[in-house]
Structure 1
Amino acid sequence: MQCLRSTQMTHKFNSSRKSGRSFDINKKTILGMRSIGRGRRACVKFCSYTGLPLPVSNSPWLEKTSSLAETSSQVVADRLQRAVHDVRKLKMDSGEIASLEETMNIGVSVDGAWISRGFNSLYGFVSVISIDTGKVLDKHFLSSKCRECDKWEGKAKDREYVAWFIEHEPNCQINHEGSAKSMEEAGARVLFERSLQKYNVRYTQYIGDGDSSAYAAVKYTYQNENITVEKQDCVGHIQKRMGTHLRKLVEEHKGKKLEDGRALTGRNRLTNHLINAFQVFYGIALRSNKGNVEEMSKQTQAILHHYASTQDEPRHDNCPTGEESWCKWQQDKATGKKTYRPLKNPLPAAVLNAVQPVIDRLSNPALLEGAKMCYTQNANESLHHVLWSVLPKEQNHGLMEINLGSNLAVAHFNSGVEQFNKALFEATGLEVNPVSQSLWLSLDRIRSREAKLKATREYKARRKELKRKRLQKLDRFEYAEGETYASGEFDRASAKKAKRRCKTCLQPMKGHSRNTCTN
């Protein structure tokens, strides 16, 4: 700053407060960019468009990222302790434990995530979330890569390597020897084995998705105390198997004819819209009969019978009864009204025979027994959504960035943006700006408002209706267009050809009369 009247009177000052050797703005920039899933290169691009000064160079950026990751780990550890304390208070209020210091048994949902797409990720993340409070209780980060070790690749026989490794081993970043697929199992084992020492709790109920062997690895964690971990499957993942199995059935029957000489899919056959309806009603059959496996199985079988019903042969006996039933026939029976209209095109016998094995498999009481209490992993999926917003899968991330990002994701999920950021800034020695704090509170309010909106019955019904219409539209397009895309099916050596189209309207000839365009 220079005096306008005297050029000799000047005063220089920094626009940002300095903490130790670094300016606050540098650390705040790193935290801000990481919270939106971006790093230094994106920051440089942002500065180039806005005309702001460039951020610190790459080396100081990494150094400050490492420092922030270490500090945030300490703050997150305190937040996780508070989450366990919340469960203790809940258990004590319900009379399950007599004091806050008593060892307690709790149920947790367990799930893992990879930091990059596919089964070749070098980094993994596993968390346990309380089924009582929906908060993260513990997390474990797995790494099968160390940049320092990579520098010594192929030099393991050198004397210098031995001396270096002895010094490096305590700080080596590799804590997982194995494939990416085994990370969830390894992480779950670590979390369960340290539960007593870290929190004085036992994870005696395991909620999983059935995608990994993690449960087998932790089942006998507390066998010295004659306690076996009980497993329950996520009802949401069980429900999704209906759509998965039916779509797989369609792929298996691609190019094949059923016993009636027609394909499995097509108009009035097994369409995308019908597959979605089967999956929705399967979820209703499970959730509306919590704890009753026999009724779950019965109503699952009823789905196929419902879509095979005719005016002369109604098959609604196993459909859910009462005014709230999704079956109009049963609704009319309960209310005395006449709103039911029979299906114009019920599923033919050939389609029923093809789909029946899938229904039998998914209505098996042995399968449904694992989901009878209707627990879900929705909290884990929500956590992963937050995690991937700060560590996008399509980008490469360094180890320190992953540590910092995973800490931000867990803390924001548990405590919200404002509470955690305020605690992190205080622990780091950064000044909390009133404007920043106001905006953090605004972000938390928006997040809370959107969550409440999406949980309403009207919002869910609207979302299902839009999906139904979208799939119906897709079915019409696919029926009219025929097969237009398949890997390697339309090369020169292939016998497949694109569908013949009308020269007037360029639409597929299906639906046109002999010499007249009907469009």
Structure 2
Amino acid sequence: MIDCNKLYNTVLSEMFCSECCVEIMQTKYYDQHLETVVVLECPGCGHQLGEKPSEKNVENEITCRMVYGEMVAGEGYSAFTRRNALCTLPHITLETYNKYASMITEKCIESCQKILAESRDLIVEEYRKLKIEPDVNGILDIDVTYDGTWHKRGHHSNIGIGIVIDAVTKLVVDYQVLCKYCHVCAYMESSYSKQTTSLEKYEQYKNEHEHKCYINYSGTAAKMESDAAAKIWQRSLDKNLRYKTIVSDGDSSTYKTIVDLNDGEGPYPDVNVEKQECINHYSKRLKTRLTNLVKSHYVEKELKTGRKRKEFAMKKKGMLTDFVINKLAQYFHKNLREKIGHGVEDMRNSIMASFFHCSSTDEKPQHHLCPTGDKSWCFYQKAAAADLPPPSHTKMKVQFQLEPAYMEEVHNVYKDLTSDEMMQRCIKGRTQNCNESLHHRIWCYCNKAKYQTKRHADFAVSHAVADYNSGYVRSCLDTALGYRRSAVTQKQLELMEKNMKEQRKRRGMKRKRELDTSYEPGGH
């Protein structure tokens, strides 16, 4: 950025004409969007240095970079004009801003699609290392994680996004953006209903706007996740991939929608799509089930004031309090992670051991599933290995006792969650952490606190996916827009990419835990 007044005072105010060498050149400034063109003209002979812009609407680099920076910051035209005013930069119209924003979004989508194509080739190479080859038609079966995200919380969002990530390489494979609102259509329909727009003009607008309309979905916001999955699975074969195994949260209807495609035959002929559970979401189901069970058994007690209060039969001291339920859910999740790949029976026994351990008493110890030996986390089995009398169960931090009928209901919850089918879905230990990480990156580019159009959502998703798959250096759009990348930009992008790789490396490192052979009340 150059201050024109300082430039004139230091350099141009004493410049003589190179032709006549008599007159001092006069300086003229011409604004072209955010760019200022400087032209020197001799008042004597008319000689000029520089050319004034012929058209004011010609695209220029400075304005394009500024709009691109505003979009990366997750802001829009209002913030752009306010920031320019504070920086004493020229004003541009909303039409001009939208023109640049649309061009940048198109380039971003094109760049993202190239990166996705390269990512799919990398996925094929990685699967070949695992001795998994494409079939005779060149189609490769892969395991994927799928999750949806919305611009607004609740079931009132106008924008929903579905993303598929390969479970082995953690690379994004495909995505779908759905939108059910267009502000331009809403404005014209409102104008027509108020009779401020004629029927002829309204029909003309509909014909011209049809191919530019943002609306590509007409269902409810709640169904966006499953409908986006259906679109992605239906076009997977065109990308020479078959998403045979899906990892999704257990409370979604995504899997049912995929299986019901093509009149119940599924997305692929003669190939069934299998479902696996995200163990992070699955462990929360125990907490939900136990909480709902506690809330379902209550007695209404009338107070002296006449008001009624609910007294829960299983939420008293020494029973299923919130603390106990949270601890049981933590043990459930810990056992799932520790028994990944160990077999269904081992995983189930490890989970049930925590239930029996925490419900044991001195009169009725239930430690038959707890690990044996002097290094066991179970104080009862550790004492038995040392031929010592076990300590009292009353010293346990996590212990609950219920009436036999209630205890049987809790036991049934554990049995439902540890069935052969459900344990088989958890045996690989898949999670949706990659999807959640990508969702955060998307909404950094698309501010959730403000109204956003589908155009900005398309930009945010495509840019975030490009960042995620190839890094910041490759995903930056200055080269795609036809501009030279400066050394300052290159250095900053390399620094951002280095920090991202270090964070991933730290997350991938296993924690070194010291072996603690002492018993702490609570079992785990």
Provide TM-score, normalisation by structure 1: 0.76
375-384 vs 350-359, which deviates more? 350-359
Q: Please, which of 332, 355, 366 is the counterpart of residue 282 of structure 1?
A: 332
Alignment of 1:417 with 2:423, yes or no, is no
Q: Is contact 1:110–1:128 with CA below 8 Å preserved after alignment?
A: yes
User: 2:437 matched to which residue of 1?
Assistant: 382
The structure 2 residue matched to 1:186, chosen from 219, 227, 247, is 227
Q: Would you say 1:176 and 2:213 are equivalent positions?
A: no
User: Comparing 18-27 with 202-211, which one deviates more in the overlay?
Assistant: 18-27
Tell me how far 1:87 sits from its aligned partner: 0.8
**Please, which moves more after superposition, 301-310 or 399-408?**
301-310
* Cα displacement (A) at 1:262: 7.5
Query: Counterparts in 2 of 1:24-423, with a 5 A limit?
Result: 24-44=61-81, 46=83, 51=87, 53=89, 56-97=92-133, 102-153=138-189, 164-197=205-238, 199-219=239-259, 225-252=269-296, 264-265=314-315, 267-290=317-340, 292-311=343-362, 313-320=364-371, 326-330=377-381, 342-344=393-395, 346-350=399-403, 352=407, 355-421=410-476
The Cα of 1:398 is off from its aligned counterpart by 1.8
- Return the offset for 1:413: 1.6
How far apart, CA to CA, are the structure 1 residues paired with 2:386 and 2:224? 54
Q: Deviation of residue 405 (structure 1)? A: 1.3
CA distance in 2: counterparts of 1:271 and 1:143, whole angstroms: 43
Aligned-partner residue type, residue 84 of structure 1: R
Change (3 A) 1:6 1:167: closer
Confirm or deny: 8 A CA contact 1:242 1:362 kept in the other structure: yes
Q: Report if the CA contact (8 A) 1:111-1:127 is conserved.
A: yes
2:472 maps to 1:432:
no
Residue 239 of structure 1: how far off its partner (Å): 0.9
Q: Is the 8 A contact 2:163 2:174 kept in 1?
A: yes
Contact 1:453–1:459 (CA under 8 A) maintained in structure 2: no
Distance 1:443 1:100 in 2: 42
Query: What residue in structure 2 maps to residue 445 of structure 1?
Result: 498
Could you tell me which runs of 5 or more consecutive residues in structure 2 were left unpaired when the two chains were aligned: 1-6, 16-23, 38-52, 302-310, 515-524
Structure 1 portions without partners, runs of 5+: 462-519
Matched residue type, 1:243: K
Report Cα offsets for 1:182-201 as digits up to 9, x if no partner: 1112111111111122x122
Write the letter of the residue equivalent to 1:234: C
Alignment of 1:498-517 (within 5 A): none
The answer to whether the 8 Å contact 1:306/1:315 transfers is: yes
Cα separation, 2, equivalents of 1:370 and 1:440 = 40
Note if contact 1:24-1:431 (Cα within 8 Å) is conserved in structure 2.
no
- Name the CA distance, whole Å, in 2 between partners of 1:276 and 1:150: 47
For residues 84 and 403 of structure 1, the distance between their equivalents in structure 2, rounded to whole angstroms, comes to 20
SS at match of 1:107: strand
AA in 2 matched with 1:276? N
- Structure 2 equivalent of residue 511 of structure 1: none
Query: In the alignment, is the contact (CA less than 8 A) between 2:295 and 2:312 conserved in 1?
Result: no
User: CA–CA distance in 1 between the matches of 2:382 and 2:371?
Assistant: 9
1:83 counterpart letter in structure 2: S
| CA distance 1:189–1:317, shift in 2 (3 Å) | same
Instruction: Answer with 358-367 or 227-236: which moved more.
Output: 358-367
Tell me which structure has the larger Cα radius of gyration. Answer: 2
Q: In structure 2, do the counterparts of structure 1 residues 55 and 167 end up closer, same or farther at CA, with 3 Å as the change threshold?
A: closer
Distance 1:322 1:388 in 2: 50
Deviation readout 1:334-370 (Å, 9 max, x if unpaired): 7999997744253223474664443333233343333
Please tell me whether the aligned partners of residues 176 and 232 of structure 2 are also in contact (alpha carbons under 8 angstroms). yes
State the partner residue of 2:522. none
Q: Using the alignment, how far apart are the partners of 1:337 and 1:453 within structure 2?
A: 43
1:116–1:395 Cα contact (<8 Å) kept: no
Equivalent position of 1:464 in the other structure: none
Q: Secondary structure at the match of 2:395?
A: coil
Conserved? CA contact 2:234–2:267, under 8 Å: no
1:2 partner letter: Y
Contact 1:43 1:55 (C-alpha < 8 Å) held by counterparts: no
CA distance in 2, matches of 1:32, 1:327: 57
Query: What per-residue deviation string (whole Å, max 9, x for no partner) do you get for residues 27-47 of structure 1?
Result: 333333333333333445556
Counterpart for residue 2 of structure 1: 8
Amino acid at match of 2:78: R
1:324, 1:21 → 2: CA distance? 75
Q: Is the 8 A contact 1:309 1:315 kept in 2?
A: yes
* Residues 364, 91 of structure 1: alpha-carbon distance in 2 compared, 3 angstrom cutoff: closer
Identity across the alignment (%):
26
Equivalent position amino acid for 2:65 in 1 = K
More moved, 213-222 vs 69-78 = 213-222
Amino acid at match of 1:230: E
Aligned amino acid, residue 441 of structure 1: E
C-alpha separation between the residues in 2 aligned to 1:10 and 1:206?
70
1:145 deviation in Å? 1.5
Contact 1:140 1:187 in 2 (8 A): yes
Residues 294 and 313 in structure 2, CA contact (< 8 A), matched pair in contact too: no
For residues 347-406 of structure 1, what are the alpha-carbon distances to aligned partners after superposition, in whole Å with 9 as ceiling and x for unaligned?
A: 223474664443333233343333233222121111111112222323211222111111
Distance in 1, Cα, partners of 2:474 & 2:453: 27
Provide the rounded CA distance (Å) in 1 between the counterparts of 2:459 and 2:225. 20
One-letter identity of the residue aligned with 2:210: E
Amino acid at match of 1:403: D
Contact 2:149–2:161 (Cα < 8 Å) also in 1: yes
CA drift at 1:149: 2.8
User: What is the rounded CA distance, in whole Å, between the counterparts of 2:60 and 2:287 in structure 1?
Assistant: 54
- The 2-side partners of 1:163 and 1:36 are apart by 36
1:427 is paired with a residue whose SS is: coil
Aligned partners of 2:36 and 2:412: how far apart in 1? 69
Residues in 2 aligned to 1:27 and 1:281: alpha-carbon distance in whole angstroms: 53
SS in 1 for 2:280: helix
Structure 1 SS opposite 2:243: strand
Superposed CA RMSD in Å reads 3.7
SS in 1 for 2:156: coil
CA distance in 2, matches of 1:429, 1:341: 75
Q: Secondary structure at the match of 1:127?
A: strand
